[in-house]
Amino acid sequence: MLLTTLVLHMLAAGRMPLHAPWLAGPQSAPSPGVKVPDPPPTPPPGLDKKMDTLLAWGKWGVMVCGVAGLFYCAGQMAIGRKNRSTFAADGATGVPWVLGGLSLAATAAPVVGVFFR
């Protein structure tokens, strides 16, 4: 009821065209022409080497977790081969998730780099 009343008031005021009601929106004022600064990302002085080390440790941790995850999935598949088919199926469905996580970790830096060009 409230939405209908709002639409009727906008139609009466001439702010909503009948042929395209989705065009109704806030009226934009002319831009004053102010340029917003957009500097490139730069590391704080003395912190770039420490962050490189921290990111390298993170990559190493993800690699260890990925190998452990693949070993875990392989173990589930091997143990569940006989009389435990759901256990083997759980291991098989875990493999794409581990590979997806490893792929995301491997491509994280290039993907983030796309947004800062």
Give the largest Cα separation in the chain, rounded: 74
| pLDDT at residue 19 is higher than 80 | no
As given in the structure block, the two tokens for residue 20 are: 């395209």
Rg (CA), the chain: 28
pLDDT-derived band at 20 (thresholds 50, 70, 90) equals low
Q: What is the mean pLDDT of the chain?
A: 81
| pTM over cut 0.75 | no
Please give the average per-residue pLDDT across 93-105, as a whole number: 93
Q: Give the residue with greater pLDDT, 31 vs 81.
A: 81
Q: How far is CA 57 from the centre of its chain?
A: 22
Q: What is the mean pLDDT of residues 95-103?
A: 94
From 21-25, 43-47, 61-65, the region with the lowest mean pLDDT: 21-25
CA angle 11, 30, 18 (to 5 degrees): 15
Burial of 73 (0-12, 13-18, 19+ CB in 10 A): buried
Res. 26: pLDDT tops 80: no
**What pLDDT, on a 0 to 100 scale, did the predictor assign at position 71?**
96
Residue 77 has pLDDT above 60, yes or no: yes
